[in-house]
Homo-oligomer: A and B are copies of this chain.
Amino acid sequence: MNKDNITIVKTTNGKAKPSENALGFGKYFTDHMFVLDYDIDNGWHSPRVVPYEPITLDPAAMVFHYGQTVFEGLKAYYGTNGKTMLFRPEKNVERLNRSCNRLSIPEIDEELFLKGLKTLIAVEKEWIPKEDGTSLYIRPFILPTETNLRVAPANSYKFIIILSPVGAYYAEGIHPVAINVEKEYTRAVLGGTGTAKTAGNYCAGYKAQKKASEQGAAQVLWLDGVEKKYIEEVGSMNIFFKINGEVVTPELNGSILEGITRMSIIELLKKWGIPVTEKKISFEEFVQAYEDGIVEEVFGTGTAAVISPVGEFRFQDKIMIINNRETGELSKKLYDTITGIQTGKMEDELNWTIEV
A64/B141 contact (C-beta < 8 A), A25-B150, A57-B54 known: yes
Which B residues are in CB contact (< 8 Å) with A68?
A: 203, 206
Interface size of A by CB at 8 A reads 66
Q: What is the CB-to-nearest-CB distance from A208 to chain B, in angstroms, rounded to a whole number? A: 9
Encode A177-191 as 1/0 by CB contact (under 8 A) with B. Answer: 000000011111111
Task: Please tell me which one of the listed residues B54, B200, B206, B236 contacts residue A203 in the complex, with CB atoms under 8 A apart.
Answer: B200
User: Once bound together, how far apart are the Cα atoms of A199 and B187, in whole Å?
Assistant: 15
Q: Is A294 an interface residue (CB 8 A)?
A: no
A59/B26 contact (C-beta < 8 A), A66-B199, A71-B65 known: no
Which B residues are in CB contact (< 8 Å) with A59?
A: 29, 33, 52-55, 160, 162
Q: Is A202 an interface residue (CB 8 A)?
A: yes
Which B residues are in CB contact (< 8 Å) with A64?
A: 55, 63, 69, 141, 143, 199
Task: Please tell me which one of the listed residues B33, B207, B209 contacts residue A102 in the complex, with CB atoms under 8 A apart.
Answer: B207
B202 touches A67 (CB 8 A): yes
Encode A46-76 as 1/0 by CB contact (under 8 A) with B. Answer: 0000001111111111011111110100000
Best-buried of A59, A186, A193 by chain B (most CB within 10 Å) = A59
User: Once bound together, how far apart are the Cα atoms of A164 and B60, in whole Å?
Assistant: 10
Encode A149-174 as 1/0 by CB contact (under 8 A) with B. Answer: 11111000000101010000000000
Task: Please tell me which one of the listed residues B66, B162, B205, B206 contacts residue A60 in the complex, with CB atoms under 8 A apart.
Answer: B162
Task: Please tell me which one of the listed residues B151, B152, B192, B205 contacts residue A225 in the complex, with CB atoms under 8 A apart.
Answer: B192
Task: Please tell me which one of the listed residues B26, B61, B162, B189 contacts residue A192 in the complex, with CB atoms under 8 A apart.
Answer: B189
User: Once bound together, how far apart are the Cα atoms of A150 and B137, in whole Å?
Assistant: 12
Q: Is A226 an interface residue (CB 8 A)?
A: yes
Which B residues are in CB contact (< 8 Å) with A204?
A: 192-193, 200
Taking beta carbons and an 8 Å cutoff, which residues of A are in contact with B? 25-27, 29, 33, 52-61, 63-69, 71, 102-104, 137, 139, 141, 143, 148-153, 160, 162, 164, 184-193, 198-207, 209-210, 225-228, 236
30 A-B interface contacts by CB (under 8 A): A26-B150, A29-B58, A54-B56, A59-B162, A63-B63, A63-B64, A65-B71, A65-B139, A65-B202, A66-B202, A66-B203, A67-B199, A68-B203, A69-B203, A103-B207, A104-B203, A139-B149, A149-B164, A151-B236, A152-B206, A153-B206, A186-B192, A189-B226, A191-B225, A192-B192, A192-B204, A198-B203, A199-B199, A200-B203, A226-B226
Closest 5 CB pairs of A and B: A200-B200, A26-B149, A67-B199, A186-B191, A68-B203
